[in-house]
Each structure stands twice: as structure tokens, then as C-alpha cells.
């Protein structure tokens, strides 16, 4: 063996991702390879009472510190195309206690801002039965100006958005006919969950688009997405207002609905979930993805034998959903907010950050923040914002978000 062939043989033992490095593609400074084979067999494992979806898995040879230091984790070399040559992750805001950065992350192309919302019902947010969660926003120019830093908390201004009339307990959002559509979880017995449309510019005026199903209150509307072709509004309804003590016991099973805003017709497109949560479409509109946070019962604990899963459906020509299949089962935590990039890769907010799969469900990599990241979104090409409850992050990568241009 020549010295060179010994080197090639040694690199081959280290696995294909590292071998590709020897082929000339260099690993970005912010990235590291996670070798999945290195943890197929562990020397010690713990029973479920000690290690479960609540715990972050640190594979052999790593520490939580080393995972955080280079936060773009390459599980498959396809991830290198997604993150590009110089990905960055910057913490742009921190809240000591109040989970101000929760969900409903949505880009306003016109104002170059990103909107998001506080965690409705979380004990430390002091919201719930008597006070609604707030909508907030940042300017993308402010975030871009600090993207060289890993921690820029305090340097980016977070502004409260005074929606009027106020959206009550917002949780999900997407672009809709030049406006923003938000799901509201409702409050108590008399403020029903609703779909709200908000003007993304002053005076942030709002209009309620839907607040019942043939007179019955929804449980707590959670997420919303517009189909790229038929333009109908698809949304999930689930129990979180109830298990966070700000909505009465559910009066409907948890399911996914579809509204045709032109005729007003509301139909159910999928059921048989534990807690249907995030919802999105592939860029061509052929697939729908539904996350199920079944393990999470809010204030009432966790049940690790339930779903922490992404289900994929075929979207038929007529807009109905067919052929449900398991796309991914996630650990740690459960997949919550979900979005595709322009290539159809699937991203979900999970217990340790954003996890990314290709369209056949292969885990490509993670944008690791080390804590629950309920939602995130792209802001056009190469930019993302991640909500991780008490921390807000700005990300630059190569990938581009999947947007329905006509809705922007």
C-alpha cells in the first residue's frame, strides 16, 4: 500500500461524510459531522425513566458544549448544499424567563420584517385565561448587521405589534393575499379560537375570517398553511389551550381542516392524530406534512409512548389528502413548526433545534440550539429566524424558503 492508499483506506473507515472532505469539499467553520454509526452501539444506556424525549442525546466523543460550538450538524453530506460555505447562527434576543419567542414565525417581504408570537399559556408568560399572548417583530436589516456574532442578544430591537382588534392568543401564521393570517387559540369559554387576518403594516388592523365549525367552537387552532395551487387555507386544531388551562375541555376531536375563503366552505381533511400541530405543503403542492406532538400534554406532563412524528399525505388534484404515511419520528422532543425549502427538503422545530430531512425522510442535519425550538421560518433566500422560547436566533444558510409568491 502506498501512503496515499493507506490514507484513503483510513478515511473510508471514518465514513462517507469525512471521505467527501478528503475529496475537496471543505467543512464550514460552523459545521461538524455527526457519525451516526458511532452511536449504533453504546456502552451504557439508561431506562426510559432516566433517558427519554426530554433529554438531549450527546453522542460519544461530543459534549453539549462541543455540539453548541459548531451548531450546523451534518448527518448526511446532502446537508452541505443546504448550509452552503459559510452558515451562521446568531442569538439575537434573550428573555430571562418569559417565553417571548414561541411560534407563528412569518416573513413580511414588503417591510423586510419577521413576525412571531409569545407562548400563550406558558406559566412564565403570565398569559392564559386573562391576558393574551403578544405578537412581536424584528427588522431583518438589524439581524443581518450582527450576523457575524454568535451572541448579539440585546443588539436587535424586538417590537410589540399592537394588532387591532387584538389577535387573541396567536400561535401559527402564514402569508395570505398580501396580509398575514394567524391562528388564535381562543381564551376561556367566550373567546373562541379563530383564524385572523392581519395587516402587516400600521395600524395592524385585523379581521376574523373564521371562528366556528357549524356553530361549534374549535379546541385551539394551532397552525395554518395555504395550498400553492388551490389557495385554500388548511389549518390544525388541537388541545393545547385546554392542557394549558386557558380553554374548556375539547368539544371536537383534534383534526385538520380546510377553508375555501371564497365560498366559506369548511371541511375536515385528516383525523386520527394524537395532537396535530404544525402543517405545511411541499413547494409543488403534491405533499402535505402534519406534525404530531402527541407526547406533550402541556401542564399535564408527557407520555413518551405517543407520537412525536411527522406524517406525510399526498394532496390529490381536488385538494383532499390521501395516503397517510410516517415521514419521520423525532427525538429529542417532538416536531412542532414545519416548513419546506424551495427544493422540498423538510425542516421541523424539535427538542434540540431545527432538524432537516430530504423528501424521502432521510435525516440530513440539524441547526442545533440545544433547546426546544417550537417554530422558525425562512425569510426568502438564505435567511431564517428560529424561535426557541426564551431565545431568538437569526440564521444564514444557502437554502431558500418555500413561498407562495402570490400570497406574499
Ligand X SMILES: *[C@@H]1O[C@H](CO)[C@@H](O)[C@H](O)[C@H]1NC(C)=O
Residues that bind ligand X (CB under 6 A): 43, 60, 97, 123-124, 145, 147-148, 179, 197-199, 205-207, 303, 305-306
Output the nine-digit C-alpha cell for 135.
405578537
Q: What secondary structure, in 3-state letters, does 262-289 show? A: CCCCEEEEECCCCCEEEEEECCCCCEEE
CB of 396 to ligand X, least distance (A): 9
Helix (H) / strand (E) element for 81: namely helix 79-83
Please identify, using beta-carbon distances, which residue of 94 and 286 lies nearer to ligand X: 94
CB of 344 to ligand X, least distance (A): 30
Please identify, using beta-carbon distances, which residue of 154 and 362 lies nearer to ligand X: 154
Q: How many CB atoms lie within 10 A of CB 197?
A: 18
Contact of 285 with 278, CB cutoff 8 Å: no
CB of 207 to ligand X, least distance (A): 4
Please identify, using beta-carbon distances, which residue of 319 and 333 lies nearer to ligand X: 333
Strand ranges, E, within 284-374: 287-292, 309-315, 321-329, 338-340, 346-350, 353-357, 363-368
Cα–Cα distance for residue pair 23/20, rounded to 1 Å: 5
Please identify, using beta-carbon distances, which residue of 264 and 301 lies nearer to ligand X: 301
CB of 44 to ligand X, least distance (A): 8
CB of 229 to ligand X, least distance (A): 24
Please identify, using beta-carbon distances, which residue of 228 and 298 lies nearer to ligand X: 298
For residue 123, give Cα distances in angstroms to 245, 249, 299: 10, 19, 9
Please identify, using beta-carbon distances, which residue of 303 and 406 lies nearer to ligand X: 303
Q: How many CB atoms lie within 10 A of CB 129?
A: 14
Cα–Cα distance for residue pair 270/289, rounded to 1 Å: 11
CB of 98 to ligand X, least distance (A): 8
Amino acid at each position: 500500500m502506498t501512503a496515499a492508499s493507506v490514507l484513503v483506506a483510513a478515511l473510508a473507515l471514518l465514513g462517507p461524510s469525512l471521505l467527501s472532505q478528503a475529496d475537496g469539499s471543505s467543512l464550514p467553520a460552523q459545521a461538524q459531522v455527526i457519525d451516526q454509526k458511532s452511536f449504533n452501539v453504546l456502552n451504557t444506556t439508561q431506562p426510559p425513566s432516566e433517558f427519554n424525549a426530554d433529554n438531549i442525546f450527546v453522542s460519544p466523543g461530543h459534549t453539549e458544549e462541543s455540539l453548541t460550538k459548531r451548531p450546523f450538524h451534518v448527518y448526511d453530506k446532502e446537508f452541505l448544499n443546504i448550509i452552503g460555505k459559510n452558515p451562521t447562527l446568531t442569538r439575537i434576543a434573550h428573555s430571562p424567563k418569559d417565553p417571548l419567542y414561541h411560534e407563528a414565525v412569518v416573513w413580511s417581504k414588503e417591510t423586510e420584517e419577521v413576525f412571531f408570537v409569545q407562548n400563550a399559556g406558558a406559566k412564565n408568560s403570565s398569559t392564559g385565561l386573562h391576558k393574551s399572548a403578544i405578537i412581536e417583530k424584528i427588522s431583518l436589516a438589524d439581524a443581518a448587521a450582527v450576523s457575524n456574532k454568535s451572541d448579539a442578544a440585546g443588539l436587535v430591537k424586538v417590537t410589540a405589534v399592537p394588532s387591532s382588534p387584538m389577535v387573541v392568543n396567536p400561535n401559527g401564521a402564514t402569508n395570505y393575499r398580501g396580509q398575514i393570517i394567524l391562528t388564535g387559540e381562543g381564551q376561556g369559554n367566550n373567546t373562541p379560537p379563530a383564524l385572523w387576518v392581519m395587516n402587516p403594516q400600521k395600524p395592524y388592523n385585523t379581521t376574523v375570517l373564521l371562528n366556528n365549525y357549524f356553530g361549534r367552537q374549535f379546541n385551539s387552532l394551532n397552525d395554518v398553511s395555504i395550498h400553492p395551487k388551490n389557495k385554500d387555507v388548511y389549518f390544525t386544531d388541537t388541545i393545547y389551550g385546554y392542557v394549558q388551562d386557558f380553554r374548556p375541555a375539547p368539544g371536537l376531536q383534534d383534526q385538520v381542516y380546510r377553508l375555501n375563503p371564497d365560498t366559506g366552505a369548511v371541511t375536515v381533511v385528516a383525523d386520527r392524530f394524537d395532537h396535530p400541530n404544525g402543517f405545511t405543503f411541499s413547494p409543488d403542492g403534491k405533499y402535505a406534512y402534519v406534525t404530531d406532538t402527541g407526547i406533550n400534554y402541556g401542564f399535564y406532563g408527557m407520555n413518551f409512548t405517543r407520537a412525536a412524528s411527522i406524517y406525510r399525505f399526498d394532496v390529490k388534484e381536488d385538494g383532499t389528502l390521501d395516503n397517510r404515511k410516517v415521514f419521520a419520528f423525532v427525538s429529542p422532543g417532538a416536531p412542532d413548526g414545519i416548513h419546506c425549502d424551495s427544493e422540498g427538503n423538510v425542516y421541523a422545530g424539535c427538542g434540540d433545534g431545527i432538524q432537516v430531512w430530504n423528501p424521502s425522510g432521510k435525516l440530513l442535519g440539524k441547526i442545533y440550539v440545544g433547546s426546544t425550538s417550537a417554530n422558525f421560518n425562512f425569510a426568502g433566500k438564505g435567511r431564517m429566524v428560529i424561535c426557541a422560547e426564551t431565545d431568538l436566533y437569526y440564521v444564514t444558510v444557502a437554502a431558500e424558503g418555500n413561498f407562495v409568491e402570490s400570497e406574499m
